Structure 1
Amino acid sequence: MESRSLPGVVAAVVFFLSTMALPAAAAVVEHTFVVSQMNMAHLCKETLVTVVNGQLPGPSIEVTEGDSVAVHVVNKSPYNITIHWHGVKQRLNCWADGVPMITQCPILPNHNFTYRFNVTGQEGTLWWHAHVPCLRATLHGALIIRPRHGPSSYPFPKPDREIPIVIGEWWQVDLALVDWRLRHYLADYIPSASTINGKLGDLYNCSGVMEDGYVLDMEPGKTYLLRVINAALFSEYYFKIAGHKFTVVATGANYVSPYTTDVVPIAPGETMDVLVVADAAPGRYYMVALPNQSPKPEPQSPVLITRGTVQYSNNHSPSNGEAALSSYREKGGAGGPSGDVPVTPEMPDQHDRMTSFYFHGNLTSLHHSQRLPVPAQVDEHLFITLGMGSVCRQGQSCRRSGSDESIVVATMNNFTFQPPTAMTSLLEAHYYNSGTMDTLQQLPDAPPRVFNFTDPALIPEGPKEAQLEPTSKATLARRFRYGAAVELVFQGTAMMQSESNPMHLHGHDMFVLAQGLGNYDAARDVARYNLVDPPVLNTVQVPSLGWVAVRFVTDNPGIWYMHCHYEFHLSMGMTALFIVEDGPTFDTSLPPPPANFPACGNDNNHVPDQFYLQTRKSEVSHIYGG
């Protein structure tokens, strides 16, 4: 028998134990996304929808922090396609960000392209979606990043199950047609229903037969991590489960200090990780998503509530049955806890914007998870107003206030974004120092004039807002040196609308320092900044007729989209480009484009207008009356 020295045995044991503690090696997670069209039937009508792998929502991508991802996109749809990996920082990898004509030429029909990126330094729930106007309503799915050391390393109690909850909308019209209408400000767009995980729920029916709703089975005493995503085009939602509370533990793949609430407001583009404990009386409970909207004088849309059901898999009677039954009835249920009628939660009013304001204002970062401190010194300050305006259909002069001579647009500092028309992507032009970049217009530090930005009298058309309507149209961009600390104040306005604005910055996270209602006043509001543990987000909800102050560091070279995640604001021009220059070293500079990068075709931004004028004339007339 071979003999071994004691030191050798100890060394072997130490090595064995150390390898037991090591996390799994980083992997390459591969998916194939086949983008195609299929008919789906809801509300007594078949609708042709564009989906990935025949699914709505599309497939979830599940990875471990540190992994690399390769997604092979095969475009069998009639549309030009790009996929954006919402919230993935894409460090030194702007080429994979998926914005048509900005970071890449789109994937043309009958073409394919492989996106490759890594998820180092991020944990939590993100998502992916098409960045083709309006098609993200059906082209989307979850992107889940788990800790490298496994679920036991979550900074909260380890859940028994993890479930994606994707809130969306069901449209019974061609989504490319919706985009065309938006760009021509024919603003008669409304979805037909709201959805949870692709299901409409029993508030909708076809000839009296209820639509299927999403069902979540829970076991008493178990803890569930719901990964909630708002993939809707047009609405912030209030999300609630009757008889249960949520503990919010992360948002935008950044951990937050645990925050207990019975309702989660979630805007388009946002993700929320929430814990739910199955501690109610066994029975059935409605899970409800309610879209909110601004009150009049804003135009009012139908309230498209959707609901699924939470049901306990163990329906035994609780020991304190009478108390549970009493509590059940107080919460709006009919019958006993195990009866057929689920408990219905009491929802906020559809016009209630303060629930969202206070919810977002109560979020703070979990101290130990904040990897970088808030920049104490600021190199550049920007003040950006968000609102509506108008441009003339022809020439420089025209009538405003709803006249057919002008088109209503969405604005940032009185500019509306004009997509580039070059035959290559802007990122390629930037990398190769092409003259195409000379056509960009600089985003100003502040709006051209100061006025009472939140004056409600500006919402309806009239002489007061008509003086402020005229808007410039340009491919709007702002250059930043590498490593600059930027403070940006988003100011919501009452210019022809009073919507909130979920502002999403690609390639970076933002420290959310403060928010407020009314007009931002630096002399007053800087003192309120949270520089200790502000939440870190990629999508910031700017409250209705209010403001948000953020800081971020430009440490990721490339061209990054910054835009409102309401689709009508995006299509109508509430967008700018943030160009981050290369740093001084190889490791701080953008590498060359990947192999087989998509080449541009004759039309890369939209389905041509002529397509609608010729081949969709009857459909346009049927849906919109002309």
Structure 2
Amino acid sequence: MAAVAIAFVFFLSAMALSVHAAIVEHTFVVSQVNMTHLCKETPVIVVNGQLPGPAIEVTEGDSVVVHVINKSPYNMTIHWHGVKQQLNCWADGVPMVTQLPILPNHNFTYRFVVSEQEGTLWWHAHVPLYRATVHGVLIIRPRQGVPLFPKPHKEVPIIIGEWWGIQLAYADTTSDYNSASTINGKLGDLYKCSGAMEEGYMMDVEPGKTYLLRIVNAALLSEYYLKIAGHKFTVVATDANYVSPYTTDIIAIAPGQTVDALVVANAAPGRYYMVAMPNQPPKPDFQSPVLPTRGIMQYSNTEGRSLSSDVPMSPEMPDNHDTMVSFYFHGNLTSLHPRHLPVPERLNERMFITLGLGSVCKHDRLSCKRGDGSNESTILATMNRPKAERLEPTSKAALARRFRYGDVVEVVFQSTSLMQSDSNPMHLHGHDMFVLAQGQGNYDMEKDVARYNLANPPVVNTVLVPRLGWVAVRFVADNPGIWYMHCHYEFHLTMGMVALFIVEDGPTVNTSLPSRTTSRFSDI
């Protein structure tokens, strides 16, 4: 990768960005439209009539104003995934926690400042299932004079998603599945309608040029592996936090996560498949349909001949059950940007949270069994905080935890084999997390603390807890408000894998949550 071995030379943004913060204003009209794929017309909820929705591009320090007009028949909120919303949890977009849902034929305006963050984030609906089609990228550019990474020829958003051939309002997350995967809303030529291939995403490149891919996993159900035949990625950021350049031929990205990666068009002119393939646990876990998608990276015509008839080269993909590819990808990432360092070592709170599926009897009965009709159990996804690191009975109550302002909190997430052995992408609103270590099997405090990376751990807002393994994270509770912590697999979220982290006000006005009537955003 000589071309990317440009030794990580820093560059100043090509655009002449003003040193003064701007107000970036958008109007989102949420509506239901009909879209046709796989020979079937399906009602779909979208923003401004498009899928994916509109991109929001800002400079660090800008204020954002988004007017949401809900013309759909369903309640709606928008979450600005990864935006810290400092002292502004009211704009976080969690229904019945930080705001009431936006009712049909009603409006709501979100106002927030994007500060001390650079890179790729995204926005999405935060009502059950509609994230599948109500989403878009949020790009935060550095202020003028702030170094970034080797200057790309072009930036390309890559949003991995799912196409559901059913109306999402009637989907059952325990039994229904998507019909296809998508790249930037397109299904690709693996899918056909009456013999005709579905349109796929096409990325045109020029030989020798470097491209920055801003990759988002907007899917509801799956982590994805992404490869481009004949090319490598150099990962430079995750979740809008810089990482030490990491060169790889495959990217593993879980729902909710973002990855910024450089790709150099240094192969022979031609056409190369870009494949996004979901992974899943091996048997005996329940097996869902494996529905990959592929687009095409196509070199521009440099020799006067058409490349459109060339058969694209296909990448060799790992087995879809090989979850260790993901484990090693995430384990190889380290932080580059000094903004968050050093990692705080003095702990105020240590939490051990087990993740799994459990069941409770309906109608609050103490015992039940399948086939009992109204007495049978309901399956719940759980986040329990067990005592002495032991499992506790499933509860229908949500975990809630209160922290003092400035508390340093360590959380160990432990995946279990209860009913299934999924990985779990855990997303914390309002904060970033240091990823100190991950491991297979059960966490052992006596030996695993010694493995912590306190020098340059990656910093994320969504951390993947490996299948049948654990991950240790640390964060500073320095953003007063009520913040959601939840699994970003939609079926886990809707089944209850969620907690509320409540951060108390600090000792000063500048560290306390203002009332909405005296908010610093009242003049935006």
TM > 0.5 fold call: yes
Contact map agreement 1:284 1:340 (CA 8 A) in 2 = yes
1:408 aligns with 2:379: yes
1:353 aligns with 2:323: yes
Q: Shift of residue 171 of structure 1? A: 0.4
Q: 1:341 to 1:92 in 2, by over 3 A?
A: same
- Between Structure 1 and Structure 2, which shows a larger proportion of strand residues? 2
Partner of 1:41: 36
Partner of 2:390: 450
Q: Is the partner of 2:356 in helix, strand or coil?
A: strand
User: In the aligned structure 2, how far is the partner of 1:239 from the partner of 1:341?
Assistant: 20
Partner of 2:6: none
Q: Shift of residue 391 of structure 1? A: 1.0
Partner of 1:460: none
Alignment-mate amino acid for residue 409 of structure 2: V
Give CA deviations for 1:210-253 in whole Å, capped at 9, x if unaligned. 00000000000110000000000000000010000000000000
- Between Structure 1 and Structure 2, which shows a larger proportion of helix residues? 1
1:68 aligns with 2:63: yes
Alignment-mate amino acid for residue 170 of structure 2: L
Q: After the TM superposition, which residues 267-346 of structure 1 pair with which residues of structure 2 at under 5 Å, given as runs? A: 267-316=254-303, 340-346=310-316
Partner of 1:370: 339
Contact map agreement 2:233 2:261 (CA 8 A) in 1 = yes
Contact map agreement 1:137 1:232 (CA 8 A) in 2 = yes
Partner of 1:560: 483
Q: Shift of residue 188 of structure 1? A: 1.2
Q: 1:199 to 1:514 in 2, by over 3 A?
A: same
Partner of 2:397: 474
Q: Shift of residue 450 of structure 1? A: 2.2
Q: After the TM superposition, which residues 176-215 of structure 1 pair with which residues of structure 2 at under 5 Å, given as runs? A: 176-178=169-171, 181-182=172-173, 187-215=174-202
Contact map agreement 2:236 2:262 (CA 8 A) in 1 = yes
Q: 1:536 to 1:403 in 2, by over 3 A?
A: farther
Identity of aligned residues (%): 73
Q: 1:317 to 1:36 in 2, by over 3 A?
A: closer
User: In the aligned structure 2, how far is the partner of 1:567 from the partner of 1:157?
Assistant: 36
Contact map agreement 2:17 2:143 (CA 8 A) in 1 = no
Q: Shift of residue 485 of structure 1? A: 0.2
Match of 2:168 among 172, 175, 183: 175
1:576 aligns with 2:516: no
Q: How many residues align?
A: 503
Contact map agreement 1:255 1:365 (CA 8 A) in 2 = yes
User: In the aligned structure 1, how far is the partner of 2:71 from the partner of 2:518?
Assistant: 21
Q: Shift of residue 398 of structure 1? A: 2.1
Q: After the TM superposition, which residues 427-576 of structure 1 pair with which residues of structure 2 at under 5 Å, given as runs? A: 444=385, 446-447=386-387, 450=390, 470-576=393-499
Q: After the TM superposition, which residues 22-41 of structure 1 pair with which residues of structure 2 at under 5 Å, given as runs? A: 23-41=18-36
Q: Is the partner of 2:510 in helix, strand or coil?
A: helix
Q: Shift of residue 317 of structure 1? A: 9.5
Q: Shift of residue 369 of structure 1? A: 3.5
Normalised to the residue count of structure 1, the TM-score between the two structures is 0.78
**In terms of Rg, which structure is larger?**
1
Q: 1:363 to 1:75 in 2, by over 3 A?
A: same
Contact map agreement 1:315 1:338 (CA 8 A) in 2 = no
Contact map agreement 2:434 2:475 (CA 8 A) in 1 = yes
Q: Shift of residue 592 of structure 1? A: 1.1
Note the residue ranges of structure 1 that are not aligned, 5 or more in a row: 1-19, 319-335, 414-443, 452-467, 597-626
Give CA deviations for 1:526-579 in whole Å, capped at 9, x if unaligned. 000000000000000000000000000000000000000000000000000000
User: In the aligned structure 1, how far is the partner of 2:194 from the partner of 2:144?
Assistant: 51
Contact map agreement 1:282 1:316 (CA 8 A) in 2 = no
User: In the aligned structure 2, how far is the partner of 1:102 from the partner of 1:497?
Assistant: 29
Contact map agreement 1:285 1:311 (CA 8 A) in 2 = yes
Contact map agreement 1:284 1:339 (CA 8 A) in 2 = no
User: In the aligned structure 2, how far is the partner of 1:39 from the partner of 1:270?
Assistant: 28
User: In the aligned structure 2, how far is the partner of 1:384 from the partner of 1:201?
Assistant: 40
Partner of 1:391: 360
Q: After the TM superposition, which residues 581-592 of structure 1 pair with which residues of structure 2 at under 5 Å, given as runs? A: 581-592=504-515
Contact map agreement 1:281 1:337 (CA 8 A) in 2 = no
Q: Is the partner of 1:288 in helix, strand or coil?
A: strand
User: In the aligned structure 2, how far is the partner of 1:402 from the partner of 1:154?
Assistant: 63
Contact map agreement 2:235 2:245 (CA 8 A) in 1 = yes
Give CA deviations for 1:53-100 in whole Å, capped at 9, x if unaligned. 001000000001110100000000111110000000000000000000
Alignment-mate amino acid for residue 399 of structure 1: C
Q: Is the partner of 2:364 in helix, strand or coil?
A: coil
Q: 1:313 to 1:488 in 2, by over 3 A?
A: same
Contact map agreement 1:37 1:77 (CA 8 A) in 2 = yes
Q: 1:245 to 1:109 in 2, by over 3 A?
A: same
Contact map agreement 1:220 1:314 (CA 8 A) in 2 = no
Note the residue ranges of structure 2 that are not aligned, 5 or more in a row: 1-14, 520-524
1:163 aligns with 2:103: no
Partner of 1:53: 48
